[in-house]
Chains A and B, each alone.
Chain A
Amino acid sequence: MTDTNRAPPGAPFGARGFGWRLQWALRKGLLHLLIAAVIIVFIFPIWVGVDTSIKPANQLRKFPTSILTTSPTMEKYAQALGPLKLYRYMGNTVIVAGATTLLGLLVGSPAAYALSRFKFRGRSFFARTVLLIYMFPPMLLIIPLYLMMTAVRVRDSLFSLIVTDTTFALPFSIWMLKAFFDTVARDLDDAALIDGCTPLSVLYRVLLPVSGPGVVATAVFCFMLGWGEYLFAVTFITTQSLQPITVAVYALISPFAVDPSLLMATSVISAIPPVIFFFAAQKWIVQGLMAGAIKG
């Protein structure tokens, strides 16, 4: 699989016979075709989803259908944002995802600082426990959480989602931030301490500012988690006006109902913010994930 495009050892490329060069070009061409085919297969669902969302109704149920509409229309997007008032539910999602991001950093960064810079009893126990959260079956927690939240009367609120989403974002936020803090030279801490910083202010005067990319990556990760969360949202929220977009879309238009274009348009709308944020921070997220999930 690896580097078919590298010339074998021996004579330089130009000195080789025509036959060899032809074979090389063919192989390379074939490889590119294979790559293109595989990629098309994997992105096909996205393509169809976007295409369906801009297809006029009269083209939708034709056989054979087209997979590239000739007369795109934004009508369904207008309908989703206009009469269906999707932006209201998007507002709920923005609050949940935004607060999850903020809390994820606020709670995660001191913990990451402790794990990265301090020696103390129980350090590795805590580190392991945090990691195990993302292996935990949420199904065991959801009934107790439902009963607890109902008992203290916070269940049907955005607060209930923010608290749970923040907790489930903790493993990633702590491990990613720790990984980025670990790369900062200790000399910086020491210099700051000598200059009169308290150990606590080293965190926000030195570590957070220097690990900008790590903070961004962590923020994006928390945001995506809060944005797409479905299980807790569909369980805890019973008041319709408090539903985040993931739940509202399902309630507004059942997927089995009549209007696939509208369904695809709302899906695209709900996917745009996380997709954009992810790509803005892609490089750092990969770094952070590698550090957290693989190296431990």
Chain B
Amino acid sequence: MHQSKILPYLLLLPAAVLIVAVVAYPMVYGITLSLTDRTLHSFEADFIGLENFRKLLQDDRFLTVAGNSVLWPIYTVIGSVLSGFLLALILNQNFLGRRFARGILLVPWTVPTVAVAFVWVWLYDPLVGIFNQIVLLVGGSRLPFMSNVGMAQFWMALPVTWRFYPFVMLMLLAGLQAIDQELYAAAGVDGANMWQRFWHITLPMVRGILGLVTVLEFIWLFNHFDIIWIMTGGGPADATHNFATYAYYQGFKTFKYAYASAIGVVMLAILFFSSLVYLYLQDRMEIEL
């Protein structure tokens, strides 16, 4: 460690300036905004206390969105963590073309979200989309996908899950490869079967990473905006809105700046708790390492 009193602060200064200007100050501004009645058309905003939050609780659309926001992480976090884990286990096997498979399975993560949304709009095309063609070929009847209010959020979860599983896969694969092979050899001598080896060696060894990526995926997917906004804009009948798209809708389609900020504050409160969980898990990880 170098000894210097001022230099480290000088080194951090540029980053600190950016963080204050783009995150910290706007955060305080946003929280203040949520306590006013500011819209695009109001030049002077009045302080109205918690009125916006009271209105949120009476806004049927917001309550629908809040309901969606419970289901949304369940679909997408479970989907991306399970598929990422499954693929990591597969890629940890020895097989021909493993490196190639790993490479190609990472592609969804590197493609811009806009392109992901476009591809899935086409896959879901009700008339000539490939999914409905497959459904018809196996003798089913056309699926309405995004036009069915009851199922829209489920179908929306697929492209988003597809974009986000590679991160889980990558982290868990690195974790799996760090497991000492001797452990499996010893378990083999003891006559443990495949399932027992998974349950008693693999799972405990990657538990820490699994917990961290699950929280991270929750945070990212909870915040996710791009793919939903491009594919449906939150429709039909608000079925695919989450907090993020609904806040954006209130802010930039109806221009209720203060009301949208109140939704942002609700998101901040929820994410604050998830961040604490994340930091706790990371601390525990550090002890284990």
Q: Complex formed: what's the CA distance from A35 to B104 in Å? A: 13
- Enumerate chain B residues within 8 angstroms of A266, measured Cβ to Cβ: 118
**A141/B87 contact (C-beta < 8 A), A260-B125, A289-B171 known:** no
- Enumerate chain B residues within 8 angstroms of A43, measured Cβ to Cβ: 104-105, 107
Interface contact A118-B4, CB-CB below 8 Å: yes
- Enumerate chain A residues within 8 angstroms of B121, measured Cβ to Cβ: 255-256
- Enumerate chain B residues within 8 angstroms of A63, measured Cβ to Cβ: 128, 133, 136
- Enumerate chain B residues within 8 angstroms of A264, measured Cβ to Cβ: 118-119, 122
Interface contact B216-A1, CB-CB below 8 Å: no
The answer, among A263, A282, A290, A296, for a CB contact under 8 Å with B106, is A282
Interface contact B286-A295, CB-CB below 8 Å: yes
Q: Complex formed: what's the CA distance from A49 to B112 in Å? A: 13
- Enumerate chain B residues within 8 angstroms of A117, measured Cβ to Cβ: 1-2
CB-nearest residue of chain A relative to B174? Answer: A290
- Enumerate chain B residues within 8 angstroms of A34, measured Cβ to Cβ: 90
Interface residues of B in 203-234 (CB under 8 A from A): 208-209, 212-213, 216, 219, 223, 225-226, 230-231
**A170/B15 contact (C-beta < 8 A), A137-B223, A141-B23 known:** yes
User: Beta-carbon contacts of A138-172 to B below 8 Å, as 1s and 0s?
Assistant: 11111111011000000000000001101110100
Interface contact B15-A111, CB-CB below 8 Å: yes
Interface residues of A in 243-282 (CB under 8 A from B): 246, 249-250, 255-256, 260, 263-264, 266-268, 270-271, 274-275, 278-279, 282
B residues contacting the other copy or chain, number (CB 8 A): 114
Say yes or no: is A39 at the interface (Cβ < 8 Å to chain B).
yes
Question: How far apart are B106's CB and chain A's nearest CB, in angstroms?
Answer: 7
CB-nearest residue of chain A relative to B98? Answer: A35
Question: How far apart are A250's CB and chain B's nearest CB, in angstroms?
Answer: 7
Interface contact A126-B12, CB-CB below 8 Å: yes
Interface-lining segment among B24-32, B46-54, B60-68, B71-79: B24-32
The answer, among A64, A128, A228, A268, for a CB contact under 8 Å with B133, is A64
Question: How far apart are A270's CB and chain B's nearest CB, in angstroms?
Answer: 5
Q: Complex formed: what's the CA distance from A148 to B101 in Å? A: 46
Question: How far apart are A264's CB and chain B's nearest CB, in angstroms?
Answer: 7
Q: Complex formed: what's the CA distance from A174 to B247 in Å? A: 30
Interface contact B27-A107, CB-CB below 8 Å: no
Interface contact A46-B108, CB-CB below 8 Å: yes
Interface contact B114-A270, CB-CB below 8 Å: yes
CB-nearest residue of chain A relative to B195? Answer: A1
CB-nearest residue of chain A relative to B4? Answer: A199
**A135/B278 contact (C-beta < 8 A), A49-B122, A114-B12, A199-B4 known:** yes
- Looking at B110, B136, B208, B283, which has the most chain A CB atoms within 10 Å of its CB? B110
Q: Complex formed: what's the CA distance from A60 to B127 in Å? A: 12
- Enumerate chain A residues within 8 angstroms of B89, measured Cβ to Cβ: 1-2
The answer, among B21, B111, B133, B257, for a CB contact under 8 Å with A274, is B111
Interface contact B184-A2, CB-CB below 8 Å: yes
Q: Complex formed: what's the CA distance from A228 to B163 in Å? A: 13
**A141/B26 contact (C-beta < 8 A), A114-B8, A199-B4 known:** yes
- Looking at B12, B208, B219, which has the most chain A CB atoms within 10 Å of its CB? B12
Q: Complex formed: what's the CA distance from A170 to B18 in Å? A: 9
Interface contact A145-B22, CB-CB below 8 Å: yes
Say yes or no: is B33 at the interface (Cβ < 8 Å to chain A).
yes
Q: Complex formed: what's the CA distance from A145 to B248 in Å? A: 13
Say yes or no: is B123 at the interface (Cβ < 8 Å to chain A).
yes
Interface contact A167-B19, CB-CB below 8 Å: yes
Give me the 8 closest cross-chain CB pairs, A-B, nearest first: A140-B264, A228-B112, A267-B115, A144-B26, A144-B29, A118-B8, A110-B11, A114-B11
Using a CB–CB cutoff of 8 Å, the interface residues on chain B facing chain A are 1-5, 7-12, 14-16, 18-19, 21-23, 25-27, 29-31, 33, 83, 86-87, 89-90, 92-96, 101, 103-115, 117-123, 125, 127-128, 130, 133, 136-137, 159, 162, 167, 170-171, 174, 184-185, 188-189, 194, 197-198, 201-202, 208-209, 212-213, 216, 219, 223, 225-226, 230-231, 243-244, 247-248, 251-252, 257, 260-261, 263-265, 267-268, 271, 274-275, 278-279, 282-283, 285-286, 289
18 further A-B contacts with Cβ under 8 Å, apart from A45-B123, A111-B12, A135-B274, are: A6-B184, A42-B108, A61-B128, A65-B133, A111-B11, A133-B23, A139-B248, A140-B26, A143-B260, A147-B257, A163-B22, A230-B112, A260-B122, A263-B122, A267-B118, A268-B115, A294-B282, A294-B285
Between A and B, 30 residue pairs with Cβ closer than 8 Å are A1-B89, A1-B202, A2-B184, A5-B93, A5-B94, A6-B184, A35-B90, A35-B101, A39-B104, A39-B105, A42-B162, A65-B130, A117-B2, A131-B279, A136-B23, A137-B264, A140-B27, A141-B27, A144-B27, A144-B261, A168-B22, A228-B111, A230-B225, A235-B252, A250-B230, A271-B111, A274-B110, A279-B103, A279-B110, A289-B170
